[in-house]
Amino acid sequence: MKMKAFFVMVLGMLVISGGGAFAGVLDWSKSDVSPADADTIRVFGLIYSGTPGITYNLDFKFNETTLKFEPVLPTSVVTINESKLATADAVRGGVLYDKWWKINGQAEPTSNHPFYPSTGKQSGKDTWRCKECHGWDYKGKDGAYVSGSHYTGIKGVYEARNMNAAHLFAIITKHNLSLSEQDIWDLTRFIKESLVEMDKYVIFNGTQKKSATGDVTKGKTLYENTGTGGGQCIMCHGADGTAIKFDGTEGVGDVANDNPWETLQKIRFGHPGSSPTMPSAVNNGLSITDQNDILTYGQTLPKIAP
Ligand code: HEC
Ligand code: HEC
């Protein structure tokens, strides 16, 4: 019934110009619009007051005869339960972004992801990680992956944080990864609410490139503080960051210097599949300033890789 009323409302909007009569019933104000193909536009996140918490994505196709855009009903309607955003877990979204199959228990991919460019230098499972195409700094081809072995030419997700939730949900769904509805909501919330502007914390260009901008002294205190509100890093990585050797050869000092963006992401959200589980500083209530201080201190730790 409600769904049918929604269709009638959409049709009504098209038939009657000056939709004042429907003000408050069908709300377009939060919707995003994007081309679906040459003669179709897709509207994301239409709100209909009869179904609170639910939004609709809907295509409008150009009719050459009437010279009007007409809704593609009912086939193009996608119902999105946006109320799930409020309870989604952005921190879980953060580790899904890193390596989703370690978090949701789905099979590790093998072939290359169909979106991965044939000119790309990576292959297999790595081409299915969000970070591989969109970057640790969320800026894709405009960030640290502007060149080098991780270059794909694909844009980042940083700007996408401004899309409405229904739009983001639909885009992530279209990637065809083995993600549940909950996984997609967690990723949607992560993108909408938890991305940081990495350039504020890690210098992107010039002689200081890759240097973190925080306070080393405060970072040391946080790194070594094993209590609530501390970084707790020392418990697992040791005072000099070498107690666990990543890939058998690297310590925190290596990773923090070589890839500060990755290190900040992992400080914030954790490391997927780590045992014992590396905690998330966001979950532990540390501010981005605290997190950046830890990264900055991490860059002073010894580099041990040969
Ligand atoms: C194999 C590469 C690849 C992987 C892996 C990948 N994406 Fe994408 N993604 C793309 C491409 C290509 C686009 C389209 C970019 C464009 O429009 O130029 C895209 C677009 C997006 C956008 C919209 C960006 C915008 O501003 O229009 C979002 C959000 C996004 N992806 C999120 C994700 C998330 C979340 C994951 C992991 C769950 C992921 N992507 C994994 C290739 C990838
Ligand atoms: C409870 C233990 C624990 C705590 C606390 C912890 N980590 Fe970790 N961390 C791990 C484990 C385990 C791994 C994965 C190691 C592996 O798989 O090689 C890891 C991975 C990492 C990595 C990724 C290295 C890579 O390239 O794969 C970095 C960087 C890191 N930790 C830094 C930190 C920092 C900084 C802190 C404090 C904010 C911290 N960790 C707190 C256990 C911990």
11, 84, 19, 72: which is closest to 43 by C-alpha?
72
The ligand that comes nearest to the alpha carbon of residue 154 is 1
Q: Provide the pLDDT for residue 114.
A: 97
Phi, psi of 57 (to 5 degrees): -105, 140
The sign of the dihedral angle between the CA atoms of 153, 156, 162, 168 is positive
Q: How far apart are CA 22 and CA 204, in angstroms?
A: 49
List pLDDT tens digits, range 4-38.
Answer: 555 655 655 544 333 444 445 788 889 999 999 99
Q: Give the residue, by CA position, lying nearest to ligand 2 atom 24.
A: 246
Task: Measure CA of the first residue to CA of the last residue in the chain; give whole Å.
Answer: 67
Residues 261, 272 contacting (CB under 8 angstroms): no
The CA angle 244-148-101, to the nearest 5 degrees, is: 50
Q: Ligand 2 pocket test: which of 255, 267, 274, 275 has the largest number of ligand atoms within 8 Å of its C-beta? A: 274
Strands, E assignment, 18-65 = 26-27, 32-37, 40-48, 54-63
Ligand 2: residues within 6 Å at CB?
231-233, 235-237, 244, 246, 252, 255, 263, 266-267, 271, 274-276, 278-279, 281, 294, 298
What predicted TM-score, i.e. pTM, was given to this entire model?
A: 0.94
Peptide bond into 74 cis (omega under 30): yes
Give the β-pairing of 40-48 and 54-63.
Answer: antiparallel
The backbone torsions φ and ψ at residue 138, rounded to the nearest 5 degrees and listed phi first, read 70, 10
Q: At what angle do helices 165-174 and 181-193 cross, to 10 degrees?
A: 130
Residues in Cβ contact with 49 at an 8 Å cutoff, skipping those fewer than 6 apart: 24, 25, 26, 27
Per-residue pLDDT of the chain (306 residues; tens, 9 = 90+): 355 555 655 655 544 333 444 445 788 889 999 999 999 999 999 998 888 899 999 999 999 999 999 989 888 899 999 999 999 999 999 999 999 999 999 999 999 999 999 999 999 999 999 999 999 999 999 999 999 999 999 999 999 999 999 999 999 999 999 999 999 999 999 999 999 999 999 999 999 999 999 999 999 999 999 998 999 999 999 999 999 999 999 999 999 999 999 999 999 999 999 999 999 999 999 999 999 999 999 999 999 999
| Residue 213: predicted pLDDT | 98
Would you say 234 and 224 are in contact if contact means Cβ atoms under 8 Å apart? Answer: yes
CB atoms within 10 A of CB 171: 17
Which mutation among 127, 129, 130 tests ligand 1's pocket best, with the greatest number of atoms within 8 A of CB? Answer: 130
- Ligand number, closest to the Cα atom of 258: 2
Cβ(134)–Cβ(170) below 8 Å: no
Q: 49 near 30, Cβ under 8 Å?
A: no
What are the structural domains, with CATH classification, of the chain? 2-81 (no CATH), 88-193 (no CATH), 199-298 (1.10.760)
Tens digits of per-residue pLDDT, 88-99?
999 999 999 999
Six token digits for residue 161: 């944080």
